[in-house]
Amino acid sequence: VDGPAVAAAVAARLLEERLQRPRLPLGLATGRTMEPVYAALVEQLEQLSGAQQQAIRQGWLSFNLDEYVGLVLHDPRSFKAFMAARLQRPLGLQPEQVLLPDGLASDPQAEARRYGAALAVAGGVGLQLLGLGLNGHVGFNEPPCGAQAPCRCLTLSAATRAQNAGAFGGDPKAVPAQAITLGLAEILAAERILLVVTGASKAAILKRALQEPPCPEVPASWLQHHPRLEVVVDRAALGTFLQGR
Ligand code: GLP
């Protein structure tokens, strides 16, 4: 489907999940791919009945995938600020309903363990929303990454810091060197996974992720092992994927 239709379809899927299976938390992602998704979600929520809106607002609980380590409180480039501006405040949710790892914790490795444990206590993820990094990462699971990697603090690759430099004045060195991310272990334990990929720049890595045998060099390739993986892509990201079929 085309770009705007991707965002609308994904937003509708997230709302449907909250209405039909509110038992488990949502797993959420940040990044440019998700900006139109959350905008569509805010719009679509307002079209629902008052009772449905209330059910969604009251029952909302989500765990984000990841957060940079070391950005100051309220730094607009933090994923916490991204979620507050694009989802939590527009939907009228409490901050405790939209959870992320704390990138300001004095011991990020301990914070990663705490966050992973908090997710486990909540029952794990129901529907996990995922974007795709140009180097094949999901969340911030940088290559090489095995399918059992747990929630942890890790060092970001040069490729990822370059990919995300736009938000930091274009300077990859200004991008934090470390991040906390849910691991492939927690991601693959989700009941359902929704991978969203848009833009021609992602076509090659999407094809590798879905067509090559799963391997640590393409962390997203482990998603092939998940029994309930849905992939929503626009035409540009589809590229030559379906040629010859
Ligand atoms: C980022 C995030 C991921 C995101 C991915 C794609 O670095 N850690 O959660 O899904 O990379 O980002 P974008 O949508 O901006 O291309």
Q: Per-residue pLDDT tens for 183-209? A: 999 999 999 999 999 999 999 999 999
Nearest to 230 by CA among 214, 245, 212, 210: 210
Percent of the chain whose pLDDT exceeds 90 = 96
What was the pLDDT predicted at 242? 65
What's the rounded mean pLDDT across residues 45-55? Answer: 98
CA distances, 57 to each of 46, 52, 98, 122 (Å):
11, 9, 11, 17
The residues with which 215 forms a beta bridge, in sequence order, are 218
What's the rounded mean pLDDT across residues 18-31? Answer: 97
**Residues 130, 183: contact at Cβ < 8 Å?**
no
**In this structure, what token pair is assigned to residue 127?**
């529907």
Ligand 1 neighbours, Cβ below 6 Å, are: 29-33, 65-66, 131-133, 139-140, 160, 164
Interval 131-187: pLDDT, tens: 999 999 999 999 999 999 999 999 999 999 999 999 999 999 999 999 999 999 999
**Residues 98, 57: contact at Cβ < 8 Å?**
no
Q: What is the CA radius of gyration of the chain?
A: 17
What's the rounded mean pLDDT across residues 111-122? Answer: 98
Percent of the chain whose pLDDT exceeds 70 = 98
Average pLDDT in the chain: 96
**With a threshold of 0.85, does the pTM exceed it?**
yes
> HSE of 242 in the Cβ direction (CA atoms, 13 Å)?
6
Interval 123-136: pLDDT, tens: 999 999 999 999 99
Rounded Cα–Cα distance for residues 105 and 7 (Å): 33
Nearest to 108 by CA among 51, 189, 181: 181
Atom 11, ligand 1: residue with shortest CA distance: 133
The band of 240, judged by pLDDT with boundaries at 50, 70 and 90, is: confident
- Pocket test of ligand 1: the residue of 6, 142, 164 to mutate, having most ligand atoms within 8 Å of its CB, is 164
Q: What are phi and psi of 210, to 5 degrees?
A: -100, -20
**In this structure, what token pair is assigned to residue 26?**
């949502």
Rounded Cα–Cα distance for residues 38 and 172 (Å): 26
- Residue 241, pLDDT above cutoff 80: no
What was the pLDDT predicted at 40? 98
The band of 53, judged by pLDDT with boundaries at 50, 70 and 90, is: very high
51 C-alpha vs ligand 1 centroid, how far in Å?
Answer: 33
- Pocket test of ligand 1: the residue of 33, 35, 38, 100 to mutate, having most ligand atoms within 8 Å of its CB, is 33
